[in-house]
Structure 1
Amino acid sequence: MVTALSIARRSVPAPKMNDMKFVTRGFPVSANEVSRRYEGVSRAVLEGFEYGADIADPDEVARRLEWVDPFYRSLAYEGAIAAMTLRDLLSPRRTRYAENFVRGHGEPHSLMAYVGFGLVMSRVPRFTWQRFLPRFDSNPLVGYLSWLAVDGYAFDRAFFDPQTWIIERRRAPRRRWEGAPEYFPRAFDQGVGRAMSFYHGGDFEAIAATANTFEDDRRGDVWSGVGAAAAYLGGPSHAELEKLIQAAGAYAPDLAVGAVMAVKARDYAGYVPDNTDLAARVVCGGTVAEISALADAAAEPPDQPVDMPDYELWRTRIRARFADVTVGQG
């Protein structure tokens, strides 16, 4: 059904499925089971985006999203949330489609919600970023995760322009975000690490080699993005995950931080594929339930004010758990 909302949102450029195919993008990968799995993310996000943009009834949006393969369902919800965020941006009056949807039908997928906003950021004026940033507060942890919008923004930029952000490794400038512009490039690099996993189609030998070309001060955040992709979407076998930890070297704790985020998101959404269970054991050294509990415990408010964003405090607490991470701990 074409609505006034769907017509309005087309004033903002949005990619088509053909734009997101790996062969169209010229990614250096061949078609195989793993690369097809990664490419499937694009289909799911765009499917969810179309539902969120063109269907006014949130109950109907959710009904359609529940038909999406469980492996990709949270990603489709992410796309729907992106569309609803865009609807809020384009509305002539103050609306909260995205926030209300996340508090309701989308709550199990809320840990992906800010990433959905990030996918919109490169397509709207910068002055709207913080002005229209949704406040997702359906559970205690999601309140820490607004920096995932910057991660999602970076993923979008690097996916569509890998030459600049992955090959040439351009540094992101500081931008005003949540009162900590100095942290913006770090959150951006986390999204670049995730995008790099798509650029190489889940080939983690190539991903590791590229990650280690980044400057030392950026490498930890890039490896964190790699860990998130590896745990959420999989690809590596047990032995390949061990090699990935070895390749990360001193940044193996950062790899684990990204994996914890992915494990928690999968567990909270109620669907944990085998690849996520494997990553929890090999990269994080625990069961899904244990790693999910770690993510929750790290979100406790600090006793005293700290000189870092809450999101980085959360990540720092998790990283400390993996200070002595070793190969084959699972």
Structure 2
Amino acid sequence: MTVLGALLRPLFEVAPTDLPPAATDGTAAAERLSEVVYTVTECCRTTLLNRRETALLAKLDAYPDELLGFAYEGAGVGLAALDHLLPWRGRTRRFVAGPASAYVFAVYLGAGMGLARLRRDPEPFRRRLCDPVFNWVVLDGYGFHEGFFAHRRHVQERATPRHLSGYALNAFDHGLGRSIWFATGAEVKRVVATIDAFPAARRGDLWAGVGLACGYTGGVDEPTVRALRARADEHRARLAEGVIVAARARRQVGNGAEHNEVACRVICGIDSAEAADVAARALADLPVDEVEPAYEIWRRRIRRQFA
């Protein structure tokens, strides 16, 4: 493990100065993020130390239901790192094709984070996944990492990665929006001001990312969610889109959460079960001819119901 540990050390080298100040200011949102980051990091280590799937699954599934998605996200970080070193093994692809199929969203988010930490272009990895719909989630995870751990460059200076183009930049901005939720301490005025500083063409994807973070991870009370909905203005459908995606990710594996119920009710006007049904119906008969990403068609079908 000495050589492997040296190669994978960047996965765990995070200095407090790398984090946006609001991420460590002791607020409820910061405490929630701390819990999530700890779970993801711990499960990344667990994945690197438990190469046999049966042993890994037993350790991941020991987490409380509400944190299981983050446990599998951590597994995605570790699996992507191992696939980077041994690409012919295809560990991530096998994992989501088998025992982790219900956690495909979480695993792919983690994979994108892992590639970002190792400073690798996520596009070759994404294409190897052979998933015509959800492989784009890797770019979401990548965007979250860059928005959170390279906050000045990608959020304050609004730079985009030079190696990404086309729809990859849209998916990147989904993750960037999630990072803004936590980098601002989920303080609504700061969320809005941060997004409004971006070019208008990017704001919809950022709001969709904020919706996913609010609906999946939470960290705020109901009045804050109501304020968020009120301030989204013309982007409310994109905010709802993110909440619906979060509801599907949670309901698919049966680990619902009260903050997801609140987000669905306040932002979408439906409960989480109905929200998950909206997402499931939107997946029906998706074209996968690659003329347009099936993932984007799915998300567009969702937001049209809230336009």
TM-score (norm 1): 0.84
Deviation at 1:99, TM superposition (A): 2.3
Question: Residues 305-324 of structure 1: matches in 2 within 5 Å?
Answer: 307-323=291-307
Q: What SS does the corresponding residue of 1:207 show, helix, strand or coil?
A: helix
Q: What SS does the corresponding residue of 2:88 show, helix, strand or coil?
A: coil
Deviation at 1:26, TM superposition (A): 4.4
2:220 aligns with 236
* 2:281 maps to which of 297, 301, 304: 297
Deviation at 1:261, TM superposition (A): 0.9
**Pair 66,303 (structure 1): closer, same or farther in 2 beyond 3 Å:** closer
* 1:14 maps to which of 6, 10, 32: 10
1:68 aligns with 63
* 1:48 maps to which of 43, 48, 53: 43
1:152 aligns with 141
**Pair 280,243 (structure 1): closer, same or farther in 2 beyond 3 Å:** same
Question: Residues 62-211 of structure 1: matches in 2 within 5 Å?
Answer: 62-91=57-86, 94-122=88-116, 123-126=118-121, 129-130=123-124, 133-135=127-129, 143-173=132-162, 175=164, 181-211=165-195
Provide, for residues 44-75 of structure 1, a one-character-per-residue CA deviation record: whole Å limited to 9, x for no partner. Answer: 11111111111122111111112223222211
Gaps of 5+ in 2: none
Q: What SS does the corresponding residue of 1:14 show, helix, strand or coil?
A: helix
Question: Residues 30-49 of structure 1: matches in 2 within 5 Å?
Answer: 30-49=25-44
Kindly indicate whether the alpha-carbon contact (under 8 Å) linking 2:44 and 2:76 is maintained by their aligned counterparts in 1: yes
Provide, for residues 136-165 of structure 1, a one-character-per-residue CA deviation record: whole Å limited to 9, x for no partner. Answer: 76xxxxx51111111111111111111111
**Pair 174,254 (structure 1): closer, same or farther in 2 beyond 3 Å:** farther
Deviation at 1:36, TM superposition (A): 0.4
Provide, for residues 102-140 of structure 1, a one-character-per-residue CA deviation record: whole Å limited to 9, x for no partner. Answer: 2333233222222122112221543x7425755376xxx
Q: What SS does the corresponding residue of 1:308 show, helix, strand or coil?
A: coil
Q: Could you say what the CA RMSD is over the residues aligned between the two structures, in angstroms? A: 2.4
Kindly provide the amino acid, as one letter, of the partner of residue 72 in structure 1: L
Distance 2:287 2:168 in 1: 25
Deviation at 1:231, TM superposition (A): 0.5
Kindly provide the amino acid, as one letter, of the partner of residue 8 in structure 1: L
Tell me whether 243-252 or 33-42 shows the greater mean CA deviation.
33-42
TM-score (norm 2): 0.90
Kindly provide the amino acid, as one letter, of the partner of residue 143 in structure 2: A
**Pair 306,124 (structure 1): closer, same or farther in 2 beyond 3 Å:** closer
Q: What SS does the corresponding residue of 1:11 show, helix, strand or coil?
A: helix
Aligned residues: 305
More helix by share: 2
Deviation at 1:83, TM superposition (A): 1.1
Gaps of 5+ in 1: 138-142, 176-180, 324-330
Kindly indicate whether the alpha-carbon contact (under 8 Å) linking 1:85 and 1:134 is maintained by their aligned counterparts in 2: no
Q: What SS does the corresponding residue of 1:35 show, helix, strand or coil?
A: helix
